Structure 1
Amino acid sequence: MDTHTTPLIEYLESLGYKVELNNGDSVAKNYDNTNEAMNSLYDGIGLRNISHSGILELRGNDSVEFIHRIATNDVKNLPKEGIAETIFTTEKGRIIDYTTLLNFESHQLLITSADFRNKIVSWLNKYIITDDVKVAVTEKKYYIFELLGPQAESFATLICGNIANQIQPNTFKIIHTEGMLFFLAKIKDIKGRIKFWTISDEDNARRLTKYIVDNKGIFNFNFIGEDVYNSYRIEQGIPATPYELNDEVNPHEAGLMDAVSSLKGCYIGQEVIARLETYDKVQKLLSGVEFTEPPLPESIFVLLDNEGKEAGNVTSYVNSLKFKKYIGLAYIRKNFLEPDMKLIAKDQFHRTLPVEVKSLPFKK
């Protein structure tokens, strides 16, 4: 979805929005407000444009049942205005993508990662045989903004009125206020915290964004670019595609079992995922690492112990904006997961750096 020249993007650029095109999608890298934005994520409210996500529209009488049958979560009885997070996995129980399903009754939206949108479309079409399901990749039809931070609920009430308080977690409602029309979704995220999405067309997204800026009041509010969010998500231990979520790991390892139903029966990959839990076969888990020296950019690290035995691999790292040190996420074998255990990170050029294992989320 190339939104670079839309009025919404032009308005955001006037506020300091720095746009980059990634596979044709407009991605907000930063807003020239790095320190203020990070402070808002921890102590206030941040607004992040996630319209570059994959936004698939599902239509047909069998759509919800179809998703229920092939993905990990129980969505068979997902009510109108209900939301469920579910994972698509391969036959071997490996992650294809972590997605969010919203039920509008007449149709559904499936929100995927930007990285694996096309893979999900191919996966869905592979299994649609006689089902009444039509999958469409939307282009410039829906715009999604994410409100996150400890003041998210209070801020949503300021913008939308008391209806924001009445919305239950993992549901959404239509909002008509100040001449604007949009959907407000209240979502419990991977870490169990509440965040909000606004979903609308481009014109309402632009007007809503301007309304938020004009009426933020005393709230600690800032726009959140992807550079700032990437630091925040690593600090909080939030896995993301294609780094932590890909077809080399399973939901157990990624800590995503809340999006996996153990009661609903078969889905693609179910037997492998169930066996891993039943027989305690999960070998590695997502954890944190702290670098004691700055790593070189674009290094790919394998983790070793002092005897040269492989302990895991680093998936993401960043010079943390909050903690002012280099930290990362890594899949580490369970026998190396003692806090502060010292390991060696070896890159693709055989350069080595000392690291320490840290629990998630990171703390000072």
Structure 2
Amino acid sequence: MTISAPAADQALRHGAAFLIRPDAGVLCLTGADRADFLHRMTTNEINRLAVGQATVTVLTSPTARILQVFTVMARAEELWLLPAPGATRALAQQLRGQIFFMDQVKVADRSEEVRRLRVMGPKAAQALGEAGLAVADLADSAWQESTVTHEGTNLTVKVLTQMRYGVPGYELLIPVATFDVLQALLQGAGIVAIDADTYENRRIELGRPAPSHELTEEFNPLEAGIGWTCADNKGCYTGQEIIARQITYDKVTKSLVGLQSDRPLTVGTELQADGRTVGVVTSSGMSPQLAAPVALAIVRRPYHEAGTSLQGDTQIATVVALPFVE
């Protein structure tokens, strides 16, 4: 469990804030078959992406469990992939391992050249505009490249709007050489730097699943709360039959839920009901707005209903509807 710094939380909740992601890398797919390759490998509609569009997609196992969740940005001659923090090398290896000898696809790691950060908060668009990065008219899951000058340095910044994945906001990508100048530009526009703990507490409050917590090999995308990444009208990818069957016949057996308790819950705690294990705590934090512990869990149905009491190791937790707060 983590506690947010008050000033950082206020900026994230009421103003504009940014989080540096030092372990968030970038992969680049090139070659004539790049879109077809990724389309047949993952859950979402990659072939339909036009230049300037993006989507979140999932690489799943033969049993439809989550292997990787990442964002795909369509460029004219390449696809940029934004893996989860810390997952760049693993994703690159997994993709390269699926390239057949006839596939015209190459995977390159651009993480040494490009840095990522995320700008969030209700005034994020306004603040970015004041920094010279106009995003007010940029649709969700769209991206643009902008050039702005700060302290005599020209900055080329790619800005992606991302409202459904993670804490809603804008993912910024910039060459490593000008990353420090970008930070100064953002801070000059009143955008406050926050730490990972503040981000995590806000993510949990909003009920957003995350890699290494809910988005793991323990669960499939439907169970983990990202069913929207699974296109229901595309052909086979690894794990597709299981996901399609669960959607068609309403056979999803687990759900992402919120939990409230008197004391903080520990991630990994098994949840009991009717004498058996029915779920597990996947994220735990402290809500500054509620001034109370909050947690996320993935729980078997029908124990996912709001108001259900579940037994943890040493205390009772109550299932609540998500989000905890807006």
TM-score by length of 2: 0.91
Map 1:297-312 onto structure 2 (within 5 A): 300-305=268-273, 307-312=274-279
* Alignment match, 2:120: 148
Name the counterpart of 1:362: 324
Q: CA deviation at 1:343?
A: 1.4
Contact residue 65 and residue 218 of structure 2 kept, 8 A: yes
Q: Equivalent residue of 2:192, what SS? A: strand
SS at match of 1:187: strand
Give the superposed CA RMSD: 2.2
Distance 2:111 2:46 in 1: 26
- Give the 3-state SS of the residue equivalent to 2:69 in structure 1: strand
Q: Please point out which of 164, 168, 171 is paired with 1:197.
A: 171
Letter in 2 for 1:165: A
Q: Structure 1, unaligned stretches of length 5 or more?
A: 1-29, 347-351
Q: Distance in 2 between matches of 1:197 and 1:294?
A: 31
1:174-185 equivalences under 5 Å are 174-178=145-149, 179-185=153-159
CA distance in 2, matches of 1:238, 1:299: 16
Q: Which amino acid aligns with 1:59?
A: T
1:287 partnered with 2:257? yes
For the 8 Å contact 2:267–2:281, the answer to whether it is kept is no
Taking the aligned partners of 1:180 and 1:51, their CA distance within structure 2 comes to 22
Question: How much does 1:186 deviate?
Answer: 3.3
Given the superposition, is the C-alpha separation of residues 254 and 42 from structure 1 closer, same or farther in structure 2, using an over 3 Å criterion? same
How far apart are residue 299 of structure 1 and its match? 5.8
State the AA in 1 paired with 2:96: N
Q: Which amino acid aligns with 1:167?
A: L
Question: Matches of 2:111 and 2:167 in 1, distance apart?
Answer: 30
CA contact (8 A) 1:115 1:241 kept: no
Match of 1:103 in 2: 74
Contact 1:56 1:110 in 2 (8 A): yes
Structure 2 runs not aligned, ≥5 long:
none
TM-score normalised by length of structure 1: 0.82
Q: Is residue 28–residue 81 contact of structure 2 (8 Å, CA) maintained in 1?
A: yes
CA distance in 2, matches of 1:111, 1:271: 26
Question: Do 1:311 and 1:336's aligned partners in 2 also have CA atoms closer than 8 Å?
Answer: yes
Which has the larger displacement, 135-144 or 85-94?
135-144
Aligned letter for 1:252?
L
Q: Over residues 120-163 of structure 1, what are the superposed CA-to-partner deviations in whole Å (9 max), with x where a residue is unaligned?
A: 222211210121111122342101111111112111211125x4
User: Shift of the alpha carbon at 1:235?
Assistant: 1.0
The 1-side partners of 2:204 and 2:70 are apart by 19
Tell me the residue number matched to 1:268. 238
Alpha-carbon distance, 1:191 to partner = 6.0
Determine which structure has the larger helix proportion and give its number: 1
The number of equivalent residue pairs is: 321
> Residues of 1 paired with 2:209 and 2:4: CA distance?
24
Q: 1:211 aligns with which of 185, 194, 203?
A: 185
Whichever residue aligns with residue 156 of structure 2, its letter is F
Distance between the aligned counterparts of 1:259 and 1:294, measured in 2? 31
Q: CA deviation at 1:194?
A: 5.2
